[in-house]
Amino acid sequence: MENKKVTYIDKYDRKEYTVNMPNQTRSAFLEERNKNYMNTVALTMEGREDITYEEFHERKDEYARALYKAGIRPEDTIGLQIATNTPESIYLLYALDKIGCKTVGLSPLNTEYKMAQDINFTKPTRIITTDVCYGLVKKPIEALNISPILYPISENAKTPYMDNLKDDEDLAKIVAKGKDYQKDVSFYDPNKVTDVLFTGGSTGTHKGVDLIGNGLNAVTLAVDTVLFAEPGMTHLQNIPIGHMSFGRFVIHYGLAANLKNALVSDFSVNKFLEYIVKTKAHVATGGPPHWNTLARDMSNYPRGCISNLIQATSGGEAFRAEEKEVAMEALRYGGSNAIIGDCIGMTEVWGPAIINLGGKNTKESLGFSIPFVNTKIVDENYQEADKGHLLLNCPGMMVGYTDNEKENEKIFWYDEDGVKWYKTGDNVEKMGINNEEFKYLGRTKRNFVCGVGNVYPEQIEELLIKFPNVREAVVTKIPDKKYQYLPIYHISVYDMNFDVEAFEQEVNNLIFTRLGEHFLPGYITYTDELLPRTERTKLDPVLIEKQDLEKLKNGYVLERKRTNYYM
C-alpha cells in the first residue's frame, strides 16, 4: 500500500511540513530510510564486527527466509525472549516482523511463575530465546509441547542447553540451512496485531498490550522530525528491546535515523556513564535512574570525558527538577553541552507521545505532543477543560489489551464523532507557549479519599524528596475504619542515623501547611535501600501497596503517626 502524505505544524518553529505517513512493515520502513546510507555502520558491539546497513538488511532478510523455511508463518504467534541486545536479536526482531507473525515480548526478568503465566496466556506457536534464559521457559513450553529455538548470547559462553539440540531448535543451523532459500517472505496486513508487550497500565494490573507494528513507524517518524541527531552519529543502545516498547522505539529510531547503534551487553543502570564514555556516544537515552548516576560516577572520569554527547533524552518515570539540575551539572563537568529532554509515553501508544526538548520549552512543562499525536484534556464528565485527564489519539495507539474487554471498556472513550481516545491515567493542565504545552499534575488512579478530602500521593512525594536525607519516597494508602484510607509514607533515606522525631515534625508542618490535614501521614516507614521498582525501573506504588496489605494480613503492626490533633 502507498504511504499517504500528511501535513503537520512544527510546534517549535511554527512552520508547516509535509511527510509520507508510513503504511508498511517496520522492515520495509527501514529499507526506505536506509537506502542512501548502506555503507554507514548500523550496529556495533564491543568484541564483534561492525555491521553496515547493507549487511544488516542482508542478514535480517536471511533470517526471515530461514525462519520461513523452518515453518514459521504469518499466522503464528512467536514468543521472543531477548536477554541482551545483540545483532542476532535485532535480526530476529525484524525478520519476524517481515514474515508478519505476531511476536510476544517475554521478559528475561520474569520469575519462572510469571513466565509460565505469560506463556499460558498467549500460547505461542514457537518460543525463540537465548540459551541463558532457557531455564525460565523450559517447564511451561514443555507443558504446552512448544518447540523452542535457541541461540547463544556469545559463541564463547554457550550453556549446556545448546548441546544436543535438534536442528530445527538451533537458530544457527536454521539460518545456515536457509542460506539458499529465495522465496519472497514479506507479508503485510495494516490491521493485524504484530506485537504483544506486557504492562501494568494505568491500573497496575499485569496485562498484554496488542500493538500494530506500523504504529511504531509513525511514532519513529514523528520523533525524527523533532530530534536532531545526524546520520553516522553514535547512538548508545542500552534499553532492552525484547520486552519493552521503549526499547523497541529506541532501536527503531536509531536505525531509522541512520545512526551507528552501539549495543551493550549489560542493561545495568550503573553501567550507563561507563558506556557513554566507552562508546563515545553522541546520543544517549535512559530513565531518571540512569541520568542520576552521572552525579555519583562522574568524579571517576576526567573532565571532558563525554564531550561527544549532544542529545540526551530521559523517559520512563517523571524526572524531578532538582535531580535533573544535578545531572546537568555532571554533564557540564563531562564536557557535554546537551540539555536533558523529557518524554512522556506508555506501552499503549508505542512509547513517546509528548516531548520536552530541554531548554526549548516552558519551565515545568512536559513539552509538546509529537506530530500525529492528538491530545484532549477532559474533566470528570468528559467535557474539554484546561485542567484534567489527558486523552490521546494517535497512529501508535494500541488495538487494546489482549483478550481483556473489561479493561478495554475502562481505558477507551469515544467522542461524539466516534473517535477513539486512550485514557492515559495522567492529570495535566495546559500551559506555556500558545497554551499547547502540558504541566504534569499526577496520576488519576493513585488518588484516594482520607476523611473528607482527596489525597494525591504525587503532591506529597514532591515535598518529601526536598528533604536532604530523602533519596526517594512513595505514598500509598492503608484502609482505615475512621478515615476510609490513611496515607502511608514509604521513605528511602541516605543515612538511617538521623533525628526521626525532628524530621517528622518538619514533615508534618510542611504537609499540613502546603497541602492540608488529610495529606498528613497515617504511617511512615523508613529504609536505606531503594524502594521497589517495576521490571522497567519505575517506582512501583502498586507493588508497595500490595506488600503493605499482605503484611497487615499476616499480623504486622504499623506504628501509627496520625493523631487527633491533625484530624
| Confidence category of residue 450, pLDDT binned at 50, 70, 90 | confident
Q: Note the pTM of the prediction, 2 decimals.
A: 0.82
| pLDDT for residue 567 | 36
| Separation CA 52–CA 44 (nearest Å) | 9
- Cell representation of residue 550: 499482605
Give how far Cα 399 sits from Cα of 108, 174, 238, 422, Å: 25, 33, 28, 10
142 CB-contact burial (10 Å; exposed 0-12 / middle 13-18 / buried 19+)? exposed
454 CB-contact burial (10 Å; exposed 0-12 / middle 13-18 / buried 19+)? exposed
| Separation CA 473–CA 307 (nearest Å) | 33
Listing from the earlier edge strand, what are the strands of the sheet with 41-45? 51-52, 41-45, 260-263, 234-237, 283-286, 311-314, 341-346, 351-356, 368-369
Name the average pLDDT for the chain: 90
| Confidence category of residue 563, pLDDT binned at 50, 70, 90 | very low
Other beta carbons within 10 Å of 557: 7
Do 53-189 and 218-444 fold alike per CATH?
Answer: yes
Q: What is the DSSP string of 117-175?
A: HHHHHH--SEEEEEGGGHHHHHHHHHHTTPEEEEE-S-TTS--GGGTT--GGGBHHHHH
What are the extents of the domains in the chain? Answer: 53-189, 218-444, 448-553
| Confidence category of residue 201, pLDDT binned at 50, 70, 90 | low
pLDDT at 334 over 50: yes
Closest to 314 in 3D by CA, of 298, 303, 325: 325
Domain 53-189 class in CATH: alpha beta
CA 522 to chain centroid, in Å, comes to 33
| Confidence category of residue 566, pLDDT binned at 50, 70, 90 | very low
Q: Pick from 93-97, 132-136, 516-520 the range whose average pLDDT is largest.
A: 93-97
pLDDT at 360 over 90: no
- Cell representation of residue 413: 472513550
| pLDDT for residue 537 | 64
pLDDT at 380 over 70: yes
Domain 218-444 class in CATH: alpha beta
| Separation CA 330–CA 312 (nearest Å) | 13
pLDDT at 325 over 80: yes
pLDDT at 221 over 90: yes
| Separation CA 160–CA 146 (nearest Å) | 20
Q: Pick from 291-300, 412-421, 443-452 the range whose average pLDDT is largest.
A: 412-421
- Cell representation of residue 122: 498467549
Distance from first CA to last CA of the chain, Å, rounded? 64
pLDDT at 91 over 70: yes
Model confidence pLDDT, tens digit, residues 503-512? 999 999 999 8
| pLDDT for residue 565 | 37
Pick the CATH number of 448-553 from 3.40.640.10, 3.30.300.30, 3.40.50.2300, 3.40.50.150: 3.30.300.30
Mean pLDDT of 427-448: 82
